[in-house]
């Protein structure tokens, strides 16, 4: 199954947030407990930050990618006991709180990196597949509107700058799929809403 890596900035943001979360949790925990017990605090801070970052995702990756992320997360758990050792080594050159924060940041960075499979998506085009399934069942007028929605979405993604394309893809796919759902319903109300969705996609396309 061909895959593409989507949203590089989102992945970088996840790693940075996880590192910051692990560092902050470890920094504050160092005032209350010995270095050997900092790992749970750093891990909790990192996982909280990862969860906040991933809440921005609107599309689930393939199940195999989710399983791969879980496996990498388990690997991070096995590697976590090395963090106190690293912190103790760093205490030779840094204050204890700074060494703990750096160790927590390392653990957070590992946790963020474990999410890389969650940024993989199948290379198939969901909108085109959905449209192909609807073609035999749609009335001619609804089919024309559905094709306009799909075409506007495709042109929008082609003309958009590469740096905004991943986030824009999610929004454009959502609008196009919603338009196809309205076309499938085929009621007067859904037809009117479908016309609005098509107009929104075409305005967005024309903006680029």
Query: Residue 57 — very low, low, confident or very high, per pLDDT cuts 50/70/90?
Result: low
Q: Is the pLDDT of residue 21 over 80?
A: yes
Check the CA dihedral 21-24-26-28 and report its sign.
negative
Nearest to 127 by CA among 182, 183, 172, 62: 172
Q: How far is CA 46 from CA 29, 61, 79, 94, in A?
A: 13, 21, 14, 22
Other CB atoms within 10 Å distance of the CB of residue 71:
11
Inter-residue contact 47 to 24 (CB < 8 Å) = no
In the chain, the largest separation of any two C-alpha atoms, in whole Å, equals 75
Other CB atoms within 10 Å distance of the CB of residue 100:
32
Q: Is the pLDDT of residue 12 over 60?
A: yes
**pLDDT for 186:** 81
Inter-residue contact 87 to 39 (CB < 8 Å) = no
> What's the helix, strand, coil split of the chain in %, to 5?
80, 5, 20
Inter-residue contact 39 to 80 (CB < 8 Å) = yes
Q: Give mean pLDDT, residues 121-142.
A: 82
Query: Residue 59 — very low, low, confident or very high, per pLDDT cuts 50/70/90?
Result: low
**pLDDT for 104:** 87
Query: Residue 198 — very low, low, confident or very high, per pLDDT cuts 50/70/90?
Result: confident
What pLDDT, in 10s, does the model give residues 22-50?
888 888 877 766 555 677 777 887 787 77
Q: Give mean pLDDT, residues 67-81.
A: 85
Inter-residue contact 20 to 108 (CB < 8 Å) = yes
Q: Kindly report which listed range (38-52, 62-76, 175-189) carries the lowest average pLDDT score.
A: 38-52
Q: How far is CA 75 from CA 71, 104, 120, in A?
A: 6, 16, 19
pTM: 0.57
Q: What are phi and psi of 187, to 5 degrees?
A: -85, 170
Q: How far is CA 135 from CA 129, 169, 180, in A?
A: 10, 23, 10
Query: Residue 173 — very low, low, confident or very high, per pLDDT cuts 50/70/90?
Result: confident
What CA dihedral angle connects 28, 29, 34 and 37, to 10 degrees?
-150
Which residues neighbour 193 within 8 Å (Cβ) at sequence distance 6 or greater?
A: 182
């Amino acid at each position: 199954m061909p895959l593409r890596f989507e949203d590089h900035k989102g992945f970088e943001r996840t790693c940075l947030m996880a590192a910051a979360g692990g560092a902050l949790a470890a920094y504050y925990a160092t005032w209350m407990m010995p270095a050997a017990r900092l790992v749970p605090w750093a891990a909790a801070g990192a996982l909280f930050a990862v969860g906040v970052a991933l809440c921005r995702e609107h599309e689930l990756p393939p199940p195999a990618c989710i399983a791969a992320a879980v496996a990498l997360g388990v690997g991070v758990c096995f590697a976590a006991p090395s963090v106190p050792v690293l912190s103790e080594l760093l205490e030779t050159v840094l204050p204890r709180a700074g060494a703990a924060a750096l160790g927590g940041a390392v653990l957070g960075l590992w946790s963020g990196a474990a999410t890389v499979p969650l940024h993989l998506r199948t290379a198939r085009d969901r909108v085109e597949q959905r449209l192909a399934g609807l073609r035999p069942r749609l009335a001619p007028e609804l089919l024309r509107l559905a094709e306009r929605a799909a075409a506007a979405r495709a042109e929008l993604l082609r003309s958009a700058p590469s740096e905004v394309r991943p986030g824009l893809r999610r929004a454009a796919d959502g609008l196009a799929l919603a338009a196809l759902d309205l076309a499938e319903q085929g009621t007067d109300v859904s037809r009117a809403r479908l016309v609005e969705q098509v107009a929104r996609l075409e305005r967005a396309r024309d903006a680029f």
